[in-house]
A and B are shown apart, each in its own frame.
Chain A
């Protein structure tokens, strides 16, 4: 917890009494936990499946948006017929998008549920989860439809864009808002607003939960997200305190220290009022380290005066790795609240960092390579000898670099210092077991400095294997967008490779149309062969022209890749057959009359 969250915690105590002690204590009593490797793998698999559906949804939405922009363009030109045709094309893409939206929604909410279970996140009674594929926020709790007995928590794609811990952290944040509502905070003026006292306090409390879980090591965030969370904590703390025109602040939130040393910290004391003000300053810590000055410091500041105070902290020689919280109090406030907090962190001997999240593409036999960076965070030039042990959850064959040690559990010795990190290259063979069944594993690295098992640190990282995953996303007719009964029209089908791997080969795609009624006869059936698209690429395949005999609603079935085709020869299984078939309806328009001869149909 940073200095800001610590101050906020003090404010929350005050607020709790304002609300009523019996209600205010009804927050969850259990802490989040770190999921097991197996649970993490399940979550990663769900996340990847939902991402595939989202890609298709977004593709359809892009086409819809483009068609609507074209419709607007022609409407501005006064070409109402063409504008109407583009609107109908947009509507077809909208319907396709709706189908993918539902698929994605189901998987997302399943994932949200599993995150609760695996991270031990506790929702207040009466909480329901929803999914909004359109919002670019991570998640939100809306005021409308949310009451003390019924809380709505709505998740958005951004919550799923990064690592699973980001999703868990977002959940923790939003569930905190749900708990706030449950405990009647939302009855306070300004709770739902922006830049209000209660709005800032609600966010400060929710972001504080994210930071607490991060600091506890249960929901550990990547650096850039952690920085974002700390920035938000600072922003909202300032929002809470913006009418408090005085304060005592540590100049830094955190200092890295070594056992047996002394470190200086600087306090900034601010009186931003128009009257003189007396401060009675005391600095205290959790672990009982020696702090100078040991007693309170009395200080009198004039209007808009700022002073800096230096304190010295002695780190005991036997201090173990971890943080000591140092707080500053102003006893002139007649309150036990800390004004600010500084953490002095005794660092471990060695840290392990994985360069980027390893994400590989491949078929059986592919070798995936990853990179570990070892650093010593201690400000010392003495090198540390590190022994590394590797293991993985799936029992895959594994090779470590620096001499190569082929075993599922390997050991490598390196020397590392603060200015001279060591890089270890590792590799994993993907042929056991088949990748079609296992797409992710957790690699665990244990680093033992100088043979000291008590000082060992571990790091985990997932290895995800991207595969071939073809699927249709829709079809279209040339502008104006919908066919006319009795007239020949070409057909264009779109197929995406939403997997992470491609092969230089071909696949088959079939297109079948029934109609005009739901159980009407097959009026069109064709099969085409196309090259496998690159990962993320959408290809358009032109089909022979079709003539639909009469107007009405037709049903189209697209299958890609089609089974048992003569030319299908990828040699690699399609990883997700569930999305290989797409069924959509479209309208065949009535032929224009003689009066309508200028029309575009």
Chain B
């Protein structure tokens, strides 16, 4: 078989919501949550292959996924080990680019672990293993990821292949993301104090507004359709488009704490952003949703993360993280 993968950069499992504090701009080539709103579905351009022909294979179910939502479930047969594929549509991939596959996964019973491989190949149900997770035993959904590069420019399938033992019950896969580095879009966070009073120390008392501007700029050569509804919320929530990662004086992340009502984006929220243009949002960090009462130094980053698409057409989906800014509360 022709070798397709150049480097296995890494594969690991994370407990959900562990985010590194660094820039990580990535465009989502695939974002799939296995629902069309009305019911759970395997997308029509995905393929399921029951290679061992035992009648047990991947199917969409309404339960078992991240945040309690739908998932693609593999139900192990009672007699034969699994040999079942969940195959994404062909993606045009380029050599030298670091691609990342992220997904949430859980099993029915921790005592009945499953085996799952991420396979990349130009043909369906074939290719090279980019990452292997031989013993998945968490019964709550957790985030896993794998990175890979390819040797040749071509169209590739990213595929999930399970070889779990017979009788191991359910394996639930949800929120599948395939991404590549984003080079053209940038998220910038500017504290007002840094802009209007650059020579003064960036110090606030507990009651002051901490005003800032976030903008997502298109530094590329082509227009990009951006979701301009920069609704702030917890980073992992589906409706959130803008989140803040704030690290407090004790080095821990300050959680977003509010009960928020957010509307779905409207057609007008998706705007073509020409080269050099940007989407922006002014904000106040000290509006009650973050506990900034502890005196000391804080670091803040803006995270733009869009998974929404307009009803017609398309839009950029992915994640952008700004460089950190610092301020002090006294």
B63 & A238 in contact (Cβ 8 Å cutoff):
yes
Chain B residues positioned under 8 Å from A202 (CB to CB)? 259
Contact of B288 (CB < 8 Å), options: A154, A158, A206: A154
B261 & A274 in contact (Cβ 8 Å cutoff):
no
B263 & A303 in contact (Cβ 8 Å cutoff):
no
Instruction: Tell me the B106-121 residues at the A interface (CB within 8 Å).
Output: 108-109, 111-112
Contact of A242 (CB < 8 Å), options: B68, B262, B264: B68
B263 & A87 in contact (Cβ 8 Å cutoff):
no
Stretch touching chain A among B1-9, B152-160, B224-232: B224-232
Chain B residues positioned under 8 Å from A304 (CB to CB)? 75, 108, 169-170
The interface centre, meaning the residue of B63, B109, B111 with most chain A CB atoms within 10 A of its CB, is B63
Check A195/B283 contact, CB under 8 A, given A141-B258, A174-B261. no
Q: Is A427 part of the binding interface, using a Cβ–Cβ cutoff of 8 Å?
A: no
A272 & B64 in contact (Cβ 8 Å cutoff):
yes
Q: Is B215 part of the binding interface, using a Cβ–Cβ cutoff of 8 Å?
A: yes
Complex CA–CA separation, A195 to B280 (angstroms):
28
Q: Is B165 part of the binding interface, using a Cβ–Cβ cutoff of 8 Å?
A: no
Chain B 275-293 per-residue mask, 1 if CB under 8 angstroms from chain A, else 0: 0001011111001111111
Complex CA–CA separation, A379 to B225 (angstroms):
42
The interface centre, meaning the residue of B229, B233, B259, B288 with most chain A CB atoms within 10 A of its CB, is B259
Chain B residues positioned under 8 Å from A135 (CB to CB)? 231-232, 283, 287
Instruction: Tell me the A268-311 residues at the B interface (CB within 8 Å).
Output: 270, 272-274, 303-304, 306
A206 & B261 in contact (Cβ 8 Å cutoff):
yes
The interface centre, meaning the residue of A194, A239, A270 with most chain B CB atoms within 10 A of its CB, is A194
Q: Is A563 part of the binding interface, using a Cβ–Cβ cutoff of 8 Å?
A: no
Q: Is A145 part of the binding interface, using a Cβ–Cβ cutoff of 8 Å?
A: yes
Q: Is the interface of B mostly helix, strand, loop or mixed?
A: loop
Complex CA–CA separation, A239 to B65 (angstroms):
10
Chain A residues positioned under 8 Å from B282 (CB to CB)? 61, 64-65, 134
Q: Is B164 part of the binding interface, using a Cβ–Cβ cutoff of 8 Å?
A: no
Closest beta carbon of chain A to B208's beta carbon, Å: 13
B257 & A152 in contact (Cβ 8 Å cutoff):
no
Stretch touching chain A among B122-130, B234-242, B245-253: B234-242
Q: Is A148 part of the binding interface, using a Cβ–Cβ cutoff of 8 Å?
A: no
Complex CA–CA separation, A177 to B258 (angstroms):
10
Complex CA–CA separation, A194 to B108 (angstroms):
24
A274 & B37 in contact (Cβ 8 Å cutoff):
no
Q: Is B256 part of the binding interface, using a Cβ–Cβ cutoff of 8 Å?
A: yes
Closest beta carbon of chain B to A201's beta carbon, Å: 11
Q: Is A143 part of the binding interface, using a Cβ–Cβ cutoff of 8 Å?
A: yes
Check A137/B290 contact, CB under 8 A, given A132-B284, A239-B68. no
Instruction: Tell me the B255-309 residues at the A interface (CB within 8 Å).
Output: 255-264, 278, 280-284, 287-293
B287 & A247 in contact (Cβ 8 Å cutoff):
no
Closest beta carbon of chain B to A55's beta carbon, Å: 14
Closest beta carbon of chain A to B161's beta carbon, Å: 20
Check A303/B169 contact, CB under 8 A, given A87-B195, A194-B234. yes
A68 & B257 in contact (Cβ 8 Å cutoff):
no
Q: How many residues of B contact A (CB 8 A)?
A: 58
B196 & A91 in contact (Cβ 8 Å cutoff):
yes
Q: Is A350 part of the binding interface, using a Cβ–Cβ cutoff of 8 Å?
A: no
Check A249/B195 contact, CB under 8 A, given A136-B241, A136-B281, A141-B259. no
Chain B residues positioned under 8 Å from A45 (CB to CB)? none
A136 & B231 in contact (Cβ 8 Å cutoff):
yes
Chain A residues positioned under 8 Å from B111 (CB to CB)? 274
A142 & B215 in contact (Cβ 8 Å cutoff):
no
Chain A 254-279 per-residue mask, 1 if CB under 8 angstroms from chain B, else 0: 00000000000000001011100000
Chain A residues positioned under 8 Å from B109 (CB to CB)? 273-274, 303
Chain B residues positioned under 8 Å from A132 (CB to CB)? 284, 287
A144 & B236 in contact (Cβ 8 Å cutoff):
no
B287 & A142 in contact (Cβ 8 Å cutoff):
yes
Chain B 92-118 per-residue mask, 1 if CB under 8 angstroms from chain A, else 0: 000000000000000011011000000
B190 & A72 in contact (Cβ 8 Å cutoff):
yes
Work out how many contacts link A and B, with CB atoms closer than 8 A: 168
Complex CA–CA separation, A144 to B217 (angstroms):
32
Contact of B215 (CB < 8 Å), options: A69, A166, A238: A69
Of chain A, the residue at the smallest CB distance from B235 is: A194
Of chain A, the residue at the smallest CB distance from B70 is: A238
B108 & A144 in contact (Cβ 8 Å cutoff):
no
Q: Is A344 part of the binding interface, using a Cβ–Cβ cutoff of 8 Å?
A: no
Complex CA–CA separation, A136 to B242 (angstroms):
9
Closest beta carbon of chain A to B2's beta carbon, Å: 38
A235 & B280 in contact (Cβ 8 Å cutoff):
no
Contact of A137 (CB < 8 Å), options: B198, B213, B262, B280: B262
Of chain B, the residue at the smallest CB distance from A273 is: B108
Closest beta carbon of chain A to B30's beta carbon, Å: 21
B108 & A303 in contact (Cβ 8 Å cutoff):
yes
Q: Is B69 part of the binding interface, using a Cβ–Cβ cutoff of 8 Å?
A: yes
Closest beta carbon of chain B to A225's beta carbon, Å: 7
Q: Is B188 part of the binding interface, using a Cβ–Cβ cutoff of 8 Å?
A: yes
A177 & B259 in contact (Cβ 8 Å cutoff):
yes
A138 & B256 in contact (Cβ 8 Å cutoff):
no
Check A143/B258 contact, CB under 8 A, given A68-B190, A154-B288, A272-B63. yes
Complex CA–CA separation, A193 to B256 (angstroms):
7
Chain B residues positioned under 8 Å from A91 (CB to CB)? 196
A238 & B287 in contact (Cβ 8 Å cutoff):
no
Q: Is B62 part of the binding interface, using a Cβ–Cβ cutoff of 8 Å?
A: yes
Chain A residues positioned under 8 Å from B232 (CB to CB)? 135-137
Contact of B289 (CB < 8 Å), options: A144, A170, A231, A274: A144
Closest beta carbon of chain B to A488's beta carbon, Å: 28
A193 & B213 in contact (Cβ 8 Å cutoff):
no
Contact of A143 (CB < 8 Å), options: B196, B233, B242, B257: B257
A140 & B68 in contact (Cβ 8 Å cutoff):
no
Instruction: Tell me the A197-218 residues at the B interface (CB within 8 Å).
Output: 199-200, 202-203, 206
Closest beta carbon of chain A to B268's beta carbon, Å: 9
Chain A residues positioned under 8 Å from B169 (CB to CB)? 274, 303-304
B259 & A235 in contact (Cβ 8 Å cutoff):
no
Chain A 527-538 per-residue mask, 1 if CB under 8 angstroms from chain B, else 0: 000000000000
Closest beta carbon of chain A to B168's beta carbon, Å: 10
B69 & A235 in contact (Cβ 8 Å cutoff):
yes
Of chain B, the residue at the smallest CB distance from A178 is: B259
Binding site for A on B (CB under 8 A): 37, 61-64, 67-69, 75, 108-109, 111-112, 169-170, 188, 190, 192, 195-196, 198, 213, 215, 217, 229-234, 236-238, 241-242, 255-264, 278, 280-284, 287-293
In the complex, given contacts A132-B284, A272-B64, A304-B170, what are 15 additional A-B residue pairs having Cβ atoms less than 8 angstroms apart?
Answer: A68-B195, A134-B284, A135-B232, A136-B230, A136-B232, A143-B291, A145-B288, A158-B231, A158-B263, A174-B261, A192-B258, A245-B63, A274-B109, A274-B111, A304-B169
29 contacts between A and B (CB under 8 A): A65-B278, A68-B190, A68-B213, A72-B188, A72-B190, A91-B196, A94-B192, A134-B282, A135-B287, A136-B262, A136-B281, A137-B233, A138-B261, A138-B263, A141-B259, A143-B257, A144-B290, A192-B255, A194-B236, A195-B237, A200-B68, A202-B259, A231-B37, A239-B67, A245-B108, A247-B63, A272-B170, A273-B109, A274-B108
Q: Which 3 A-B pairs have the closest CB atoms?
A: A142-B288, A242-B68, A238-B68
